[in-house]
Amino acid sequence: MRFKPARFSRFVMKKPVVDPLQALQQKLADTEALLQQERLKNQALQTVIELAEKEFNIPIRKKSAGPPGGSKR
C-alpha cells in the first residue's frame, strides 16, 4: 500500500505571513550576532598566536614586505 498525500487544503502547511521590515530586522540581528562570534574567534586566534610566539620564540605572523612588485620608479 502506497502512501498518498492528503488532498485536502486544511492539511497543507502554509508559510507564515512575515512583515518585510520584521524579516529585515531579524536578518540584521542574526548578522550582528554572527559578526560578534567572528570577532571573538579572531581575538582568540590572535591570542593563541601571540602566546605561541612568546612561548616557543618563533615568528608566526608574516612580516609586511611593502607594496607588491618592489619599488619601481
Domain that residue 42 falls in: 21-56
Q: How far apart are CA 21 and CA 2, in angstroms?
A: 44
Q: Would you say 25 and 18 are in contact if contact means Cβ atoms under 8 Å apart?
A: no
Residue 26 lies in a domain: yes
Residue 62 lies in a domain: no
Residue 31 lies in a domain: yes
Residue 61 lies in a domain: no
CA 36 to chain centre: 9
Per-residue pLDDT of the chain (73 residues; tens, 9 = 90+): 566 666 656 666 666 777 999 999 999 999 999 999 999 999 999 999 999 999 999 898 887 776 766 665 5
What torsion, rounded to 10 degrees, do the Cα atoms 52, 53, 56, 62 define?
110
In the chain, how many domains are there?
1
Residue 32 lies in a domain: yes
Residue 27 lies in a domain: yes
Residue 6 lies in a domain: no
Does the pTM surpass 0.85? The reply is no
The identity of residue 72, as a single letter, is K
Q: How far apart are CA 34 and CA 41, in angstroms?
A: 10
Residue 15 lies in a domain: no
